[in-house]
Structure 1
Amino acid sequence: MAVFIVMDWDETEADYFGIVSRMGVQGTPAEGIHLHLAGPAAGGMRIVEVWDEAAGFEAFVRDVLLPTAAEAGIATKPVYTVVPIGNVFAPGLEVIEKLAREFAG
């Protein structure tokens, strides 16, 4: 079942971009992810993602995200909630696609 994740992480924006860069996920996304949004929030970064299933996200956190963060010297771990998707409404999908192209470089 498709899920969305809301993740808060006590890290700086620079740390966030450092981890993303090390993982290379914007060029080669993990299997099962469909959307990744991130921005500054009180005390760190807030990240929202859409995945095919919770198990794929959890495996990515365990096998890729946390080891990469540790290699970058980041000892904190994200706090997240996984929620089954009950509805999708995306009237501005073309705007999201445009933003994605801008960030992909």
Structure 2
Amino acid sequence: MAKATTAPTDIHAELLSEIALLNRRAIDYYRKACAPDAPTFILNDNLSFEDALAHAADLLHCAIETAHASGEPVNAQQRAVMYLVEMAKGVVDRALDCVNPR
């Protein structure tokens, strides 16, 4: 009488495939897309070009003042961000001057 047994390599392969399946399921669970957060800032659809530029200028001014109030930039990246914000403020101010020449 012969016993029906599975070879050890078959059991090993089956275990590996089950582990791979469990790993895949765990990864897929954590890779699910998150629901997008609600926007923190919503623009009015009736905002004119000039008002949008003026508002952007005010926001950039606030960003510059906040950065200055927090102290001197410590590293090159902080200085670069400060420089970019100041340049953007200059561009927006120039655009406002073009819209409303004084």
Rg larger in 1 or in 2?
2
Whether TM exceeds 0.5 here: the answer is no
Relative contact order higher in (CA < 8 Å, ≥ 6 apart): 1
| TM-score calculated relative to the size of structure 2 | 0.25
Higher helix share: 2
